[in-house]
Structure formats: C-alpha cells, structure tokens
Amino acid sequence: MTRLSRTMKGWILGLIAVLVFSVFPTSQVQAAEACAEPAWSSSAVYGGGNIVSHGGKAWKAKWWTQGEMPGTTGQWGVWEDLGACNPGTPPVDPPVDPPVDPPVDPPGTGDRMYVAYASSWNTSIYDLTTANIPNYITHLNLAFVRPDTTYTQGSYAFDQAVAGLEFVEGATTPNGQRKFTAQQSQDLRNNIAALRARGTKAFLSVGGWSYSQGSQWSRFNAKNIVDLALDLGAAGVDIDWESSGSNCNKGTAAQFSCTKDGEIAGIITSLYNEIQARNANLQISIAGWSTGAYYVKGTPFEEGKVQWGSPFGGTMYRVVKDHGSKIDFINLMSYDGGIYYDPREGYESYKAIYNGPINMGMQIAPEGSGGAVLQLNAAPGTVYDADMMNGQNNIATAYYNVETMVNYIKNKGRANDGFMLWQLWKQRVHQPAPSGAANENSAGQYVCRNLPLQGDCNQVIPSLPKL
C-alpha cells in the first residue's frame, strides 16, 4: 500500500478531530477539569455556604448536608444552583470537610453526654435555638416521631400527621391539620444545623408513650425514619419503645424472655441494617425502661432483691443483651418508678449486660407516675452507694436526688456514662415543679459543674410561654 501524502494525512487527522469534538463537545470532555470549585462528594459533610461543583454547575449549600446530590433536591432543597461553574485549575489538594462536631472536650471530661428530650407539643420550631438551649447539652432528642411515619425523602413534610412531631407550625388542631411552609421547613433544618455546629446533636426520638400504645410499632418503617432523620440533618435516631403489653417469664439469663422480644429486636435490627446499607452517618440510642433489665433469676436484680420492679420488669433485657452492639448508647428512664424505685439499681442492671455508655435519667417533678419527687441535694451524711439491692422498699427516697446520682456515676460508673433529662420544657408545657424540688436548670447546672461537662454551666433554659 502506498504511503499517504503529508497533505492527505493532515486532512484526515483534521477530519478525525472534528468528528471527535462533534460527538464529545468540549464542555463535556473537559467538564471534570473546567471547574475551580471542588467536586461534590457523597461522603463529605458540607455546612451552609459551602460551594461545590457538579454536572458542570456550581452549587451552594443552604445548610448542613451529607449525601444529597446537587440538582436532585428541588427548589426548596439544600443546594442553590449558582449556574455554570467557574473555569480554572482545580485544587491539587482535596477539599477539607468542614468540621460539624469538632473535638471540644476539655481535659478530664472524657466523652460524657448530657441528653435532653425536647417535647414538640405546645412549642415552636423557633424555640430550638442556641440562645434557648445551653451549650452543655450534648444531645437534643426531638419528641416524638411516629414509628409508622409515611415520610418520603425530599418532601420536608415535618407535620404531625406525617412525621408525628407536634410543633405548632405543623400540629393537628380542631380546625384541621397545619402544614409546614417551605420556609418553616428550611428554618427547622437551619436551627438543627446551627445547634449541631455549636456542639449539640439533634436525635429523632421515635415512639414515646402515646405512640407506643396502639399498633404503630407493628408498622415500623426504618427507611422512612432514616429519610426523615437525614432530611432534618439529625445525628441519630432514639428508639423510645414503651410497649405496655410485654410480659416476662422471670427465668434465668439463658431462659429469660418476654412476649414482645421479637418486636423490639426487629425494630432495632431493621433500623441498624437500613443505616448500614445506606452508609448513613446516624447513631442509634434507646430509651431504657427504668426496670427493663430486672427480674432475671440468679442475678442481683431478681425479684425480691431490688427495691420494687413494676409490671415492666425485664422488658428490655433481651434486646440489650442480644443486640447491644447495634446500640450506641442507652438513655435510662430512671424515674416514673414510684417512691420505692432506686435509680442506682436500675443503672447497675443495665451496666451488667451492656458495655456502652449509659445516661442516668432525671425527670423534673411532678413525674408522670409513681409520685416520686427528684430533689437537688442529698441530706447531710448521705452515703451515695449505701442501701442497695437488699430488697428493702422504704429507703429509696433518701437517695433520689441529683447529688447522689452524680456521685454514683462519677465513682461507680464508666468514664463515658452521663445523664439524661426529661425534659427541656417540662414546667413550660406541664406544670411547675414542687417547692424545693430540682428543676430543669438546677439539675442541669449541677450535672455540668460536678460530673463535669464541657460548656458554660451558668447558661439557663429560659422561661418561654406554653403555645
């Protein structure tokens, strides 16, 4: 075959170049290197104001986000379309993800938590600000979400009928169902993002007493719960399973079982599997019933050895013992047990079967049931670890105070055990605490100063009106 002339060869190469760039336009071929903005990453965490490139465009985050692809969240979504990206040389070093939860623990405080539940009823989304919530609160549990929520990702339908939350902006009223406006949905997300950036992580608390008394848990939908948590920018999901129909056999550890073990095990397992399958950055906590690990024969917590037990004794034993590796921490509801219940014994019963952090719970009186009144200080001469697991039912009141519980956790607990408060707005939405009893501020400040916690222990929860 004869060699082509130089002219003919040049003409052919030119034709090839034309064809190539006709099929693959320059803007597409060079899209990856045409943007000066860092490329969006599904695993990176972005804060409000961060700018990324994706699909040849620049996008600005309106609030905290992770895993939400630019161009898929709609007009009211997290990403604002800034138009074509700026041409330029991409940075040599990859972008550094903005720290959402920076390590701020001072020497000596370890990883102790202070979890506060925040009821949504008779309150507003605009109450959830850094000005209203002390910075020593490490976790804020938004109560409560429906276990059977029909929420779909990207809908931002945070109202009571769909999500279960009862904020006045989306409450079910005698005059009909209120719906969040697009601005209100964004404002709630912004408030959660601001708290998280400050160091207070929001969790969605699923269930609670009201949502646990019907059949909602039988229709628990892990996917919808995770969708809701991610859309709100929450850091985790708290399972508050308060089923009153689980009866336990009070057998030995190997034989111990309750009639609803399968239900709660399925809830935790399905939620854990959903989070893992989606690589979602979410934790799981549970609300541990006060006597939920009692009545196991052959243990220090069998019937007759602990100070009263209640019909719910043992209902959490199997799920904690068998599925504890799926649970990041336990919020112990060490209240509502009456004047004979001893929180120290409740704590020890969970500690015997669970290796993770346990947060000792405090409820501002009047309590939901039982009539016990949480005091702030112990009587002079009180020994914080005396009179335990001896079956005497008339001595628990002397130890039912914040001072005793803090001393017990400091000296007998693990380094990462903390405290939980029910709840942030207790006096606001229910009724004032009895004279001389602990309140939301005195209890929290005592824990902050004496456990201790990171943050300004002088900050207070303001008195806000019931809405």
- Cα distance between residue 96 and residue 69, in whole Å: 18
Could you tell me if residue 181 is left (phi over 0), alpha (psi between -120 and 50 degrees) or otherwise beta? beta
Cβ pair 275, 228 in contact under 8 A: no
Confidence tier at 77 by pLDDT (50, 70, 90): confident
Angle subtended at Cα 313 by Cα 311 and Cα 316, rounded to the nearest 5 degrees? 125
Cβ pair 271, 229 in contact under 8 A: no
Residue span(s) of the chain under CATH 2.10.10.20 come to 21-98
Q: Among 107-111, 383-387, 456-460, which stretch is predicted with the lowest mean pLDDT? A: 107-111
pLDDT for 12-52, tens place per residue? 444 444 343 444 443 333 333 458 888 888 767 676 678 88
pLDDT for 255-309, tens place per residue? 999 999 999 999 999 999 999 999 999 999 999 999 999 999 999 999 888 876 6
* DSSP letter string, 246-263: --B---BTTT--BTTHHH
Indicate if the pLDDT at residue 102 is higher than 80: no
Bigger pLDDT: 355 vs 65: 355
Residue 90 confidence (pLDDT): 42
Residue 10 confidence (pLDDT): 45
Calculate the alpha carbon distances from 268 to 143, 285, 323 in Å.
Answer: 18, 10, 8
Residue 37 confidence (pLDDT): 85
Query: pTM, whole model, 2 decimals?
Result: 0.79
Residue 34 confidence (pLDDT): 59
- Cα distance between residue 413 and residue 347, in whole Å: 9
Residue 50 confidence (pLDDT): 80
Residue span(s) of the chain under CATH 3.20.20.80 come to 114-450
Percent of the chain with pLDDT over 70: 85
Cα–chain-centroid distance for residue 427?
23
Beta strands per DSSP E along 1-136: 45-46, 51-54, 57-61, 65-66, 79-84, 114-119
pLDDT for 319-366, tens place per residue? 999 999 999 999 999 999 999 999 999 999 999 999 999 999 999 999
Three-state secondary-structure class, residue 387: coil
Closest CA to 231 of 52, 64, 39, 45: 64
Q: Which two tokens stand for residue 343?
A: 């929180």
Cβ pair 447, 406 in contact under 8 A: yes
- Cα distance between residue 165 and residue 143, in whole Å: 7
Residue type, 374: L
Fold of 114-450: TIM Barrel (3.20.20)
Confidence tier at 110 by pLDDT (50, 70, 90): low
CATH dotted code for 21-98: 2.10.10.20
Q: Please, what sign has the CA dihedral across residues 400, 401, 404, 410? A: positive
Closest CA to 45 of 11, 19, 9, 78: 78
Confidence tier at 445 by pLDDT (50, 70, 90): very high
Cβ pair 34, 43 in contact under 8 A: no
Three-state secondary-structure class, residue 223: helix
